[in-house]
Structures are given as structure tokens and as C-alpha cells.
Structure 1
Amino acid sequence: MAADPRDPVTEAPLSPPPGGAGSKDRAKDGAKDRAVADGAGTVRAEDADPFVRAVATELPGGTGPVGARPAPEPVLLPDTALPVDAVPRSLVSHGCWYPSVDPGGRHVAFVCDRAGVPQLWAGPVEGDDVHLLDDEPHPVTEVAWSPDGRWIAYTTAPGGGEHTRVLCVRPDGTGRRVLAGGEPGTSAHLGCWTHDGSALAVTVAEAPAHLPPAGAEAGGPGADAVSPAPLPEGWAARDGRATLLTAPSRPPAAALAAGGPPASAEPVPRTLSAYLVAPDGSAAPVLLASERDAASLRVCDVSRDGRLALLRRGPRGRREALVVRLHDLRVTCGVPVADGDPWIGAFAPDARTLWLRSDHAREHAALYAVVLDRRGHRLGLTVAAERDGSGLDLLALDRDGRGAVLSWNVRGVSELEVAALAAAGTAGPPRAVPLPHEVVTRVAVTADPDAPVVALSGSLRRPGVWWLPQGAALRTPWSSRDEDVAPGAHPPVRPVPVRPVARDGLDLGGWYYRAPGRSPAEPAPCVLHLHGGPEEQERPVFEPLYHELLGRGLDVFAPDVRGSSGYGRSFVDADLGRGRFAAIDDVADCAAHAVLEGLADPRRLAVMGHSYGGYLAMASLVWHPDLFRTGVPVCGMSDLTTFFAGTEPWLARSAAHKYGHPDRDRELLHELSPMSRIDALRVPVLAVHGEHDTNVPPGESEQFVRAARERGVEAELLVLRDEGHDFRRADNRRAFRRTAADWIQRHLAG
């Protein structure tokens, strides 16, 4: 997150939490994002933490003072709740997602963009009396209703950027306040509620107070000793002395599981700190964990007796579930867990079993039961539910912890089940729950384990919230109707799955959308759209961008190249290191598949993508310069070296595992960068970027466009105001879709 070296990290002797989960001695911290814009519209984190000088990470493991910043008092805000009739409706068809239910299970808080920006709403599952609880224009990203029903916590992205803050409000719209994320140089993330609703877990991201001494390398003077991380198969030899920053200073499954060493009395740099916060500010904050140079840290559950906390930490591809004993902040257990949804699991009511969504020692994620002793140490680890060839996508335990809702990813399509959980760490026979649409994006449990509320999306509908009592599928009245999904002359298109084969024999995947009215035997102009991540997966959901392109008579092929999720751990890791060159070739192989199948016209192909997909689009244009007629990279990395220099520190630490270390792997990063081959670019390019993107700074698009123009290639840059890495405002999304479609249509014409 944005660094601010002027805000020192102080040594604050915070009292450990008392035994009960209902204790009033709770914690929080605040932060507010800050960015600066230069004359070209580029926004970067101010005083970015030099990634190459960071050292290995550790979690606190003792009773000594911990160097973490004390949390400020909550900031009260004016009430802004509005009934639905008072809200201007700028969208004919809107989306609703990220539901969280009240204790009775009959009212839902959710995110909705009916006013043009994702905002916090609440209403009954069986009525349309919904209310807007926060009318500020800052996009809302996550929602959590407290178990006692008194508060709704949510996360917003001020200015549409990547830095976030955590707020809470009462269900009637009163008492709105910032809990964390209100101070310069920091950002905050939502964690779980305690089971009695008296406290909320938040994670505060803050810059270290100081950097390691210049020249302090891992294992050298002034730094912790670090064992180099194992290199992926086929990765080239490294040319530097540093180690991957994702290598832990102590193996979590060994030393940390045994309790770890006592925390040092000396203050150390901290990046992420997790606290318990009293929503009304009536009690002091309580520190749960703090980690320096961290990639992620989220509190997923606190046991009902207040003894243990479940944390998810680590970079992409190396996530871990950690059990932290709260009275002394020692890590007692660590288990690798899957990427994807951050809510990885929860404790059973007696905290003797931990239920986890994990791909530990397997290709696909499954439901694991971790048996714990009274002190939180692991006694056993078993698989309670699994599927051959499919992974557990979402896991939600019901309110009493004796049942679970499981959403499985079956080659991109969701299958939902409800299962009973036994104290012995086993799950009963699951009951399938029919779904009216293809993909479940969020599960919210209710008081009735057989009546979950879920967010659904499908190729023929906008995202909506559905109530599933005893297997019935009831659309909430405030979600868009299916007939309103795409107003206009062109109906939405249901894609068909395709299975290309890469030149090295690896089976790929994806979905092909055929433009309405086109003859099956007619090769069409086609746009290859590449998803981000790289670990994301293309799934059959309604995508307005695709609808816009299809309405122009353009086919859309959305492939899953190597590195995508949904196909197993080996497939995700197949692009590591020098394997990324094969991922770039996968794009060409997917284009060839569409041509050979008679779907796409080889003379009228375009490529586009977002985030990593934007990088891959740039790379495809310069590695395969004769394949595409044009390209539209969106928020993509054009030079991996400048990307590492400008991105958020937490993202840099995750990205090192995927692409290479910016010090050790400089030669590899240069080879993989589209800018290194810019002389090969031959076709027009439209680059698109959000002005407040701090994940991939806008300079990545600017330098690519500038270099193209210097070489006489037509190139344009569209900068979207008040947007970050993801485009959330309806007017900006509409401008992006139409501008991109106009550009592609013009260059593929004829």
C-alpha cells in the first residue's frame, strides 16, 4: 500500500485480548490512501517502498511489546441513508452482489450499482423495500452484517482507487463511521466479526517506519537469515544475490507451528497489522497479528470462546492458513490453502476442528478438517469433501458451525451443495442445490442451513442475489429481471466451451461467443479477450464488454491460457519463470484453434485484455506481430522492471513468485517485457488505464503508447478519471466499452 515514511511505526504495548469473544477490549487502526498525479495523469503511490530492499516476513510469536501503530478513534460521518424512490436510477439494468444477511436471515445487505456506482444497500429477501445506506460516490467492495444484527461493516475505495477503508453503519442508516482507513498513507481491509458481534477484525496496511540498511541482503548483515525459495521446474538460473521475498524467515509448518520464538522487544518495520475493533468505539483496540513486508493478511474467524483466530496470509500461490493463539499471539498451526476467495474457513463451535478450503498436497481445492488440541496445535488433517477434477470454489459455514454450503468449480460452472459437519471432522452426504444460472460468486448463510442467500451471475443475466430455501430458487425483488439483462436489439449470447491444445501438448480451455445472426460456417472477425491474474479464470457470466462487441458483429473468444485457475495447481504453476514464454505462445495457439475450427477469420483478429491480460495482449502483439490487426491492452504491464518499481509493495511481493524477482531475475524480466521487443510492433494500439491505478501504474500504458508513436505506429491512450485498476463507475465502463468496440470495429473492417 502507499508508503509514508513520515508516519513512524511506534512501539505500542497493547494488552492481549481477554479470554472471551465478547470482551470489550477490541482493536482497530485507521488509514487513508494518498496518491499524487503528474501532468500526464499518471497516479503512483507516494514514497513507494523500494521492493528490492525489503527483508523476509515473520508473524509475532510472544508476549513482548509489538511494534505496531496504535489505532485512532472512529471517525463519525453524517447519515446518508435514502429510500429507493429517492435514488436516481441511471441504469436500466443493474447488478446486485456480495450479499450478507442479518441474524434472522430475512434481510440482506448487498452491493448494487443501480445509481451508477457500486454502493451499500439493504432490504428484505421477499420485498422491494430497499434502502441506500451510504450515498457517497466511493465504490463499495465488501459487506459484512454483524451476528448480533446491530451493525453492517463494509469496505469502500475512495476516489475509485486501489486503497480502501472500512466503515460501519447501523441497518437504519444511522451511526455511520470510519473504523479504519482514515489516516494518510494507510489502507484498511475487512475481516470477520466476532461471533457475538461485539468486535470486527480489520487489517491495516501501513508503510514501514524505516528501511533495512542499504546493502542488507537476505542472510547478510542487518537482515534475517532466509532460505531461498525452491525454483519452479525449468526456471533459469538466477543472476543476483537476493532471495525471493516470499520465502519465510522461518518455515510456518515447522517452527511457527511449534509456537515460534518470542517477539523481539525492539520495534521492527511492519506492513500489515490485524486488529479487533469495537464498532461503536467504546473499547480500546486489540492487536491480533502484525507482519512486516507482507503480501496479504486477513482475519477469517475468531473462535467462539475467544482463544483462537484464523488468519489467511502470504502471496499468491503460497497462501497459508494460520491459527493464532490470542492470549500470547503465538502461531500454533499452519496449513497451505488455495488461492481465490479469501474467506478460507472457520472454526467448529468448540474450536477443536478447523474447516478449510485448501489445495494442500493436491491439484484441486477440497474441504479439509484440521483437528486441533486445546492449545490450538494440529492433531490431524483429513479431507472431508472432494471432487475428482473439480475444486472447491467457495466455502461458508452456517451460524451454528454444524453445516456448510459448498460451491464447486466444474470447468467454470458452479455446482452448489449443502452438507452437515460432524465434530469428528467428517462431512455428511451432500445435498445438491439446483441453480438458475451458471456461476455462484458469493454465499451468505442464514439461520436456516437449508436456505442460503447467494450471489449469482450467468451468461444471460446481470449479477443478482437469490434466496434458495429448501432448494427453491427465488430471485430477490430488487435484483434485475432476466428480461432486463441487455436492453436493446441484441440479446445476450450463451457461450460454448472450447478446448484448444497448446503447441507443447498442454490442454487449454475457454469460452467462445458467436455474434448473433452469423452463419455457423462463416469465419468471423474475432476478438481474443485475455483475463487477468494470471490466476483468474474465464467463466460464463454476462460481460457487458462482450455484449458490446457481439452487437457490432464481432465474435469473442475468451481463453484460459496456462497460469489460469480452475484446471488444477499444475496448470496454475505452468507459467512460472520462463514458462511465461509458453503462455504468450498459448495466445497464438488459441487464435489458431479458432481459425482452424472455421470460427474466426485469420485476417481479422484482435487481441485485448485487462491487467495481466493487458500485459499478455501487449506481449502477443510484439511476439506474434503478424497475427493480429490491432490490440487493446487495459491496465497492462509493458515493462516488468518499471512495474515492480511503481506497483504496491504487497503486490510486488506476490508478483515476484509469478514473474521473477526484480533484482535476481532482471534479465528474465527484461526478456519477458513487451517494451524489450517494441520494435516488432506493427499494428495500431489503443491502451486504456484508470488514472488512480496503483496496482499497475498508468505509466505502463503511457510508455508503450509513446514508444509506438515514436516508431510511427498508430497508438492512443484512454485514461478513465476516478478509476483505479478496476473500472467501477457506470459512465466510465460505458465509455470504455464503446471506445474499445469502436476502435476494434474500425481496424477489423473489410
Structure 2
Amino acid sequence: MVDQPAERVISALAGPLVEALPSAQGARETHSPVSAHGCWYPSADPTGGQVAFICNRGGVPQLWAGPAGSDDVHLLDTGPDPVIEVSWSPDGRWIAYTTAPGGGELTRVLCVRPDGSDRRVLAGAAPGSTAYLGRWTRDGSAIAVTATDPPPGLLATEHGDSWHPTEPHPAAHPGEWTRGELSRGEWTGGDGHPVLLGGAHHSEVGAGARGPLSGSSAPPATALRPPRPSPYGPAPEPHLTGGGLAVYLADPAGVRPPELLATEPAGATLRMCDISPDGQLVLLLRGPRGAREAVVLRTNTCETACTVPVADGDPWIGRFSPSGRTLYLRSDADREFAALVTAELAPDGSCLRRLVTAQRDDADLELLAVHDDGRSAVLAWNRRGRSELETIALPTAPRVNGAGDDGHRATLLELRSPALSLPVSLPLSLPLSLPLPLPLPHEVVTRISPAGPRGLVLAVSGSLRRPGVWHAPDNAAPVRTPWSSRDEDAVAPGRPPVRPEHLRLPARDGLELGGWHYRAPDHGAGRQAPCVIHLHGGPEEQERPVFDPLYHELLGRGLDVFAPDVRGSLGAGRSFVNADLGAGRFAAINDVADCATHLITAGLADPRRLAVMGRSYGGYLTLASLVWHPELFCTGVSVCGMSDFLTFFAGTEPWIARSAAAKYGHPERDRDLLHALSPMSRIDALQVPLLAVHGEHDTNVPFGESEQMVKAARQRGIPAELLALPNEGHDFMRTRNRVLFRRTAASWLERHLAG
């Protein structure tokens, strides 16, 4: 068994809540569709002919489905809650998805039949809890969900006694795991007795239940080992944040009780990314930012078989081969850029060897999609913000004089090629071909989903188009689906979108920075124009050349936009991502000033009409830039930005705090540093007007972060306004609020940069 803490807090979410909801069967839109809408996050049915996707043509991101080649699509959930993720089951019987009730950060998992009937909640319905999707089992009989602990007072022991989630469970001792149930009417399975594996035998589940989903003897659930050391410093202690994460296999029909696979009492991330076809191995993603790990777990004993460091970014880090003997991962272990890594596994899941199968010296492997037959994969490389797509044949894990993943006896062949950095044993039956590039209609791919045996559906975006879904049947060139916006409908007539230019510039310490410069249509070369520096969130996000309605609004007001990647951003290697750690965050603040100076000296920006704006971490950098470099900017717009790291840690969600502490600093050990980095600590240096924008339901960066900054500015006689968006969380989902936000921000900037 893995090491187990003496004070383990078991998750209260003993099973999915199967709650019937109004049917959306046959629902069609009751209004004229908005032509300039977006479609994204596609997931195809087993045939590849039908696609479920997210679309905001009704004013909020909703779940839709329909044929890839027809515009005869229909709504599957007519509710007002924004949809976040979508996954069609391998057997074609269910579509699972997550929603954000009220537009906030607490999400729940639902499922629905492809015709819109039998809609139900699987997890995340308890007040204060959240849940998100994992992978389906290969036969589609169950889907993994990750759930968090609900607030105090909802927990119960096996004997019905309630206990506080921040205290040790009364029955929890080293090496012992207990069964936990909630009272009837809270969380129930098909027979009212959901099971936490470990303390209960299958005979105790109750009449009518078919037993846990794996069909094996009930092993103890596992608490994962502490994550690998983070480059951001020691992990935060559990008592600072509380709560826990748990992964379950859930029967969407609610007939069989759920099966608890793993828990992290103080985890930052926990997601099941795959399960081997025989159900013996599970692939989990865990760990804080900068220290993510792939964990292979044995389901019969719930022991950790092996761990492999993996890259940040897309959570779908890899898949098992059909035999379960090979694992394909997107990893940046001991590397600057993420690559495709092949791990050969022993029958017990332990790693025999790891090999780099596909790599690039100047680009991250950003997205990985493995076809179900395990013979090929589609890779999306991120090269300076643009995507490059290719399909490759996959090496299997054959045994000498044995059968490989394709079931054929294999003769080993050692081969080197530009796509393979190390010798890899391949069966002669596998086609030995170089990667095949796939044409892209626009600059960025945000999701790849297999569609049938050889097809693909792609979520594509670009500087001249709204997000859309493109279908590539049988390895053909991608074609826009009829229900995605046409490029000519991206904006209203008379105001065409702008394709940006990528700029490179040095920071004051010599580190190379990059960014995208958007010039307003009537601004000719050589003109010093009013300019807005816009800063992305994360920090480990990246500015991409995609259509942004906010930028389009600003450009239409005669304001140029420069969107940089300061240190800490993705896309330029691990060293660049880690360059803002600790006191390095002061250098990131200076990067914003260096961008402003470069725009001025290059003749691209008017030094008297320069503003700074950003969202989330970019909102923090906006506030920090205004108080560290007040002489550079005329005004600033902070969107959901942190103004004080200590109040941020006190108010954010527990799992967010754990990951943030690994990035920004520990709220106790690094208290002085966090105080020094907080804009509120330098509020007296603020000299220019400030607009803050925040979603009222934001529990990622609490609403009070903007509120306290605006209040402090007003107390010092600085003009400051706060726009509170109703029914929104950290990301603004509703079209009406998004329009209000960008028009308010653009009017503010236009007013203060005029002249």
C-alpha cells in the first residue's frame, strides 16, 4: 500500500446524486440564431457522424448536438447555466457535461441521452461542492468524476454520526480506510447505498445493487503520495486550505453504486484521464501547477504503480494503449518543451522504460489525441502561439517473441528518425512513417477529438474568425461544420477583424519577451497611436492570435492593442514559465513596463496615451503596474484581479489556494513577500483613474479583491469605478454581460486616452 496519513479525511461525496431534470428532448432554438456566435469543445459519438459541442448562439454557452455535416442541430440542455466540458460515451448512449450554476466557479456534472431525454445530475449538487469530468470507461458503462468535499455539517460516519471535515475521521487510523455514507435524501445510488470502497463488502451494498462498477473485490481507496517537489517551493500544508478531492467511477443511469478510486485530502488537482481496457490500471492527473504528475494506479489494490512528471496546460495528458501495456503522455520531464513520451508498462503497471517518441526543439506538445485502436495519434504543437497539427503512427510495447498491442507477434527493430529522439523498439507490422502534417484553416486549435476510427473533430479559432468546429472524416482535410459561424460573419459589416503582428523585445535583464500587436485599421505605419497593453491570466496562460471581441471593440474605437507574454507565460519553455517564481514576480511587473517602453521607443505608441488592462492574474499585473510604474500609464482596467495576495488566499476556493500557493508563495512562510508583491501595499502610489470589473459569483478571485482596491483609491481621491456583473464568476459567460463589459471598458479607455 502507499503511505497513508493518520488523519485522513474521507470525502463526503459517497456517490452521485441521480436527480431527474426536465427533458430537452426535441428542443429547438426559439429565436433567430446570432450569426456571430462561437462553437467549441466538440465530442463525437462512436461513429464520428454526430457531434456534441458547446455553442453560445443563444446568449450563454449551452450543450448542442447534431450531425457533423448538417445544420440540423438541437439543444440538449435548455437551462441558463453555462456549459464548460462535454464528453460523449464510447457506447453512444450518454453525453456527460459540466455546468457552472449561476455562472460561478462551483461546477456540477450532468448526463443526458443524445436525444435530450433522461437528463440528470451525477455530482456536484451538494451546496458548496464542485465536480468535474474525467474519462469514460472503454465500454461506456461508467464515467469518472472528481468531486470536492461539501461544507461542514454534511458528513456522516458509517454509524450516522456527523463530523467536521477539518477534523480526523473518528474511525480513521493509519492503514485503515472506512466506509462513509450520507443520510438518505442527500447522496444516493440506485438502491440508496453508495459505497466508499475499503470498509464495506459487496454483500453490504444492499439488495438490488449489482456491486461496484469494476466487478472485482472491494479494495481500499488510496490516498496518493505527496506530489513531486514543486519548482515553486514547498507545497502548502493541508490545514491552511482544508477540503479534499476524490475520484469516482459513476454509472450514469444510477443503477450501480459509485466506486471510489482515489482521494487527495489536500490536493490541488485530481482527474482521471484514462482507464485501461481491462479496468486494471487507472491514469490520474494530480499535483499543483508546475509539478503535475501522471499517476498509474492499480485498481485491484489501489496501489500506485508509477508516476511520471507531466506538463501543465491541457488536463487530458495521455491514454493507455489497447493492451494497457503502453502509456502515451504529454510530458516536459527534464525538458524545456513538452513532448510525446511513451512509457512501457509491466503487467502490474510499473514503468519499465520511458522514451521520447515525438519532440520539437522550439515548440510545446499542447494537445494529444490517441485513436481508440492505439495505432495513431494526433498532435498539436504550439509554436510561438500558433498551432501546427500532425498525425503520427504510434510505437507499441511489444515483447521479444511475443505479441504487441495489435495482437500480432512482433519482431523488434531499432530505428532512429527525426521524430524519435531515442531508439524505440517497434514491431515490423507497424507502418514506419514520418509525421503527416494536417492543414489548418486558422491559427489555433483548442481541442482535438477522435471521430470514428480515423476521423477528427477540431475546435479551431483564429484572429479573423469566431471559435468554430471543423470536421475531418477519414483523415481528410478539415471542413467547417454548417452550424459554426462563417468567417464573413465574425463581425458586423464595415469593421473587419485585424490580423496581429508578432513582436519580440528584450526585458531589462536580457530575457526575450514576445507579444501580438494589433493596429487599428486607420492607423498607418509610423504613427504613434493610443495603445492598450492587455495582459492575459494564469500566469501560465499564453497570448494566442485568436479573435477577441474585446480587442475588436478597442480597435474600433481607434485604440491599438499590444498583448504580451511576460515571464511566467506558457509557450516559451519551462525556464520562461518558472522565471517569475518568488521574488522573480517583481521582474514580471518590470516586464510590463519594458513592453510599454519598447512600444514608445519603436514609435508604435503615444507615451501620453498608454493604458494597461488585464484579467485574473493579468488584472493583478495591471494593478501592480499602476503602483510600481505610475508614470507610464494614463489609466488601467483590472478584471477579476488580485489586489492583496493574503486576502486572496483567505477567500479563494481551497483547491485553488493549494495550487496558487505553489505558484505565488506560501501565505504563512512567504507572508512578507506576498505582502510586498500586493498592489494594496503600495496603494499610495496610485495616481491615475482605475476601472475594476468583477463577476459577482467569482470564488476563484473573490469579489472583494476589486472592491477593496476601488475603495482605497477613492479614499485617496483617485477616480475609481467598479462594474459588478450579475450571474458571472471568474469567466464571463453570458453574451449580454460580455457586451456590457467590453463596451464599458472600451468607453473608459477611450475617454481617458482621448487627445
TM-score, with length taken from structure 1: 0.84
The structure, 1 or 2, with the larger RCO (C-alpha pairs under 8 Å, 6+ apart) is: 1
What whole-Å deviation, never above 9, does each CA across 1:538-568 have from its counterpart, x for those lacking one?
Answer: 0000000000000000000000000000000
Does the CA-based 8 Å contact 2:68-2:481 persist in structure 1?
yes
Who is 1:393 aligned against?
Answer: 366
Who is 1:305 aligned against?
Answer: 278
Query: Which amino acid in the other structure matches residue 376 of structure 2?
Result: G
**Residue 91 of structure 1: how far off its partner (Å):** 2.8
Query: Which amino acid in the other structure matches residue 319 of structure 2?
Result: A
Who is 1:630 aligned against?
Answer: 635
SS of the aligned residue for 1:724 comes to coil
Q: Which runs of 5+ in 2 are unaligned?
A: 153-163, 169-223, 398-423, 427-431
In structure 1, C-alpha distance between the alignment counterparts of 2:225 and 2:357, rounded to whole Å: 38
SS of the aligned residue for 1:360 comes to coil
User: Residues 729, 158 of structure 1: CA spacing in aligned structure 2 closer, same or farther, 3 A cutoff?
Assistant: same
What whole-Å deviation, never above 9, does each CA across 1:124-150 have from its counterpart, x for those lacking one?
Answer: 111111000000010000000000000
Question: 1:22-101 counterparts in 2 under 5 A?
Answer: 69-84=13-28, 86-89=29-32, 91-101=34-44
Who is 1:141 aligned against?
Answer: 84
In structure 1, C-alpha distance between the alignment counterparts of 2:705 and 2:309, rounded to whole Å: 33
What whole-Å deviation, never above 9, does each CA across 1:569-628 have from its counterpart, x for those lacking one?
Answer: 000000000000000000000111111111111110000000000000000000001100
Who is 1:289 aligned against?
Answer: 262
Does the CA-based 8 Å contact 2:17-2:123 persist in structure 1?
no
Query: Which amino acid in the other structure matches residue 465 of structure 1?
Result: V
**Residue 739 of structure 1: how far off its partner (Å):** 0.1
Query: Which amino acid in the other structure matches residue 123 of structure 1?
Result: G
In structure 2, C-alpha distance between the alignment counterparts of 1:610 and 1:166, rounded to whole Å: 27
**Residue 499 of structure 1: how far off its partner (Å):** 0.6
User: Residues 81, 326 of structure 1: CA spacing in aligned structure 2 closer, same or farther, 3 A cutoff?
Assistant: same
In structure 2, C-alpha distance between the alignment counterparts of 1:340 and 1:189, rounded to whole Å: 16
Query: Which amino acid in the other structure matches residue 689 of structure 1?
Result: H
**Residue 61 of structure 1: how far off its partner (Å):** 10
Who is 1:706 aligned against?
Answer: 711
Query: Which amino acid in the other structure matches residue 236 of structure 2?
Result: L
Who is 1:613 aligned against?
Answer: 618
In structure 2, C-alpha distance between the alignment counterparts of 1:523 and 1:119, rounded to whole Å: 43
Does the CA-based 8 Å contact 2:3-2:225 persist in structure 1?
no
Question: 1:221-370 counterparts in 2 under 5 A?
Answer: 244-245=235-236, 271-370=244-343
User: Residues 526, 401 of structure 1: CA spacing in aligned structure 2 closer, same or farther, 3 A cutoff?
Assistant: same
In structure 1, C-alpha distance between the alignment counterparts of 2:741 and 2:543, rounded to whole Å: 20
SS of the aligned residue for 1:508 comes to strand
Q: Which runs of 5+ in 1 are unaligned?
A: 1-15, 17-57, 214-223, 236-242, 249-268
What whole-Å deviation, never above 9, does each CA across 1:52-91 have from its counterpart, x for those lacking one?
Answer: xxxxxx88699x996654114411111024544x332463
In structure 1, C-alpha distance between the alignment counterparts of 2:273 and 2:230, rounded to whole Å: 29
Does the CA-based 8 Å contact 2:39-2:56 persist in structure 1?
yes
Who is 1:106 aligned against?
Answer: 49
Say whether residues 1:574 and 2:579 are aligned partners: yes
Say whether residues 1:211 and 2:166 are aligned partners: yes
Does the CA-based 8 Å contact 2:27-2:74 persist in structure 1?
yes
Who is 2:692 aligned against?
Answer: 687
SS of the aligned residue for 1:159 comes to helix
Who is 1:464 aligned against?
Answer: 468
SS of the aligned residue for 1:322 comes to strand
- Report % sequence identity: 63
Say whether residues 1:602 and 2:607 are aligned partners: yes
Does the CA-based 8 Å contact 1:562-1:574 persist in structure 2?
yes
Who is 1:504 aligned against?
Answer: 509
Who is 2:531 aligned against?
Answer: 526
Who is 2:108 aligned against?
Answer: 165
In structure 2, C-alpha distance between the alignment counterparts of 1:583 and 1:623, rounded to whole Å: 11
**Residue 211 of structure 1: how far off its partner (Å):** 2.7
Who is 2:650 aligned against?
Answer: 645
Say whether residues 1:486 and 2:468 are aligned partners: no
**Residue 184 of structure 1: how far off its partner (Å):** 1.7
SS of the aligned residue for 1:616 comes to helix
Does the CA-based 8 Å contact 2:516-2:562 persist in structure 1?
yes
TM-score, with length taken from structure 2: 0.84
User: Residues 314, 89 of structure 1: CA spacing in aligned structure 2 closer, same or farther, 3 A cutoff?
Assistant: farther
Does the CA-based 8 Å contact 2:305-2:349 persist in structure 1?
yes
In structure 1, C-alpha distance between the alignment counterparts of 2:243 and 2:583, rounded to whole Å: 32
Question: 1:414-433 counterparts in 2 under 5 A?
Answer: 414-424=387-397, 428-433=433-438
SS of the aligned residue for 2:643 comes to coil
**Residue 92 of structure 1: how far off its partner (Å):** 3.3
**Residue 273 of structure 1: how far off its partner (Å):** 0.6
Match of 1:435 among 432, 435, 440: 440
**Residue 403 of structure 1: how far off its partner (Å):** 1.1
**Residue 432 of structure 1: how far off its partner (Å):** 0.4
Does the CA-based 8 Å contact 2:387-2:445 persist in structure 1?
yes
SS of the aligned residue for 2:551 comes to helix
Say whether residues 1:181 and 2:124 are aligned partners: yes
SS of the aligned residue for 2:34 comes to coil
What count of residue pairs does the alignment treat as equivalent? 652
SS of the aligned residue for 1:499 comes to strand
Who is 2:553 aligned against?
Answer: 548
In structure 1, C-alpha distance between the alignment counterparts of 2:17 and 2:23, rounded to whole Å: 18
Query: Which amino acid in the other structure matches residue 206 of structure 1?
Result: D
Who is 2:213 aligned against?
Answer: none
